[in-house]
Amino acid sequence: MSDWLNVFYNLQVTETCNLRCLGCTLWNRDVSGDLEESLRNLIYNDTFFSIYPRRKIYNIIGGEPSNFRALPDVLSYLKNNSIKNYLWTNLTMDSENLMECLPFVNRLFVYLPFPSKESYENFTGEASYETILYNLQILKKRKIPVSFYCPVTPENISWLPDIYEFAYQNKAELILYWNPKRSTLSKESVQFLKRYKRVKNVWLIKTKPVPDTYCPGLPYGPMSDSLAFLRGAAHQLFLKYGGIFV
Ligand code: SF4
């Protein structure tokens, strides 16, 4: 397993977020500034890899990474050092910010807890659904690959067919996940969820608890200590993309 871990690095550029998803408190944090200045210095002095490891893949995560103003600088620096960038985002940044990042991003993983304006905005506490739709059009025009990721909960399980349809219409993969040790999904809901196991372009994975400072929406650390992992979707995802799926 340790060789695998040498493939990727999760670079958390911020703990803050612009959304206010139910059950998440990261949006309430104010930790701006510190990392921004230090990363800018490391890039300016070309000493980034004396602090951070050189890896094939960098997962750029938050909070919401676009809250971090030096994001385009970090992405371009990594790309110039032949590192693949995967941006894990809620895609609600303004389109100018998005376009600044796109030349340096290999794939966007987009958080999609709900697939309609009302349900999305009720859950995230923000009027930003149109922004996501608009930004998706930009990604389509630029031919930037997208995957959606969705933590499955009792609140959104009835939306799964619509979430799948949304991903299908956008020709994107869908990563569905739940944490069996903490989930409050009923047995019936888990059975229903497992139907998606064999659906094309859907990845169904069991995850571990997300560290407190990470966006709780991330499909972090799939259960990796069993043979089931080696045979399962998380392993397949890792072979395909590397990174956060271990
Ligand atoms: S769950 Fe993630 S996207 Fe939602 S408010 Fe928290 S950090 Fe932001």
Question: Rounded to two decimals, what is the model's pTM?
Answer: 0.92
Going from the Cα of 113 to the center of ligand 1, the distance in angstroms, rounded, reads: 10
CB of 177 within 6 A of ligand 1: the answer is no
Taking the centre of ligand 1 as the mean of its atom positions, its distance from the CA of residue 23, in whole angstroms, is: 9
Give the E-state strand segments of 63-153 in sequence order. 84-89, 107-111, 146-151
> So what's the pLDDT on residue 4?
62
Q: In order of start, what are the domains of the chain with their CATH numbers? A: 2-245 (3.20.20.70)
Task: Give the HSE-up count for residue 186: Cα atoms under 13 Å, Cβ half-sphere.
Answer: 8
Q: Which of 113, 75, 71 is nearest to 219 (CA)?
A: 113
Under 8 Å between Cβ of 105 and 85:
yes
- Nearest-angstrom CA–CA distance, 82 and 134: 30
For atom 2 of ligand 1, the residue with the nearest CA is 215
Q: In this predicted structure, what is the pLDDT of residue 207? A: 85
The answer to whether the CB of 113 is under 6 A from ligand 1 is no
- Return the structure tokens found at 58: 């960098």
What is the CA(44)–ligand 1 centre distance, in A? 30
Q: Which helix (H) or strand (E) holds 10?
A: strand 8-12
Q: Tell me the sheet residues that pair with 146.
A: 108
Picking from 101, 182, 189, 111, the residue whose alpha carbon sits closest to that of residue 144 is 101
Question: For each successive 10 residues of the chain (246 residues), what is the average pLDDT?
Answer: 71 91 81 76 95 94 92 97 96 96 97 95 89 96 96 94 97 92 86 92 88 86 61 77 66
- The pLDDT, as a whole number, for residue 1 is 46
Give the model's pLDDT for residue 227.
59
Structure tokens at 112: 């999609």
How far apart are the C-alpha atoms of 230 and 233, rounded to whole Å?
A: 8
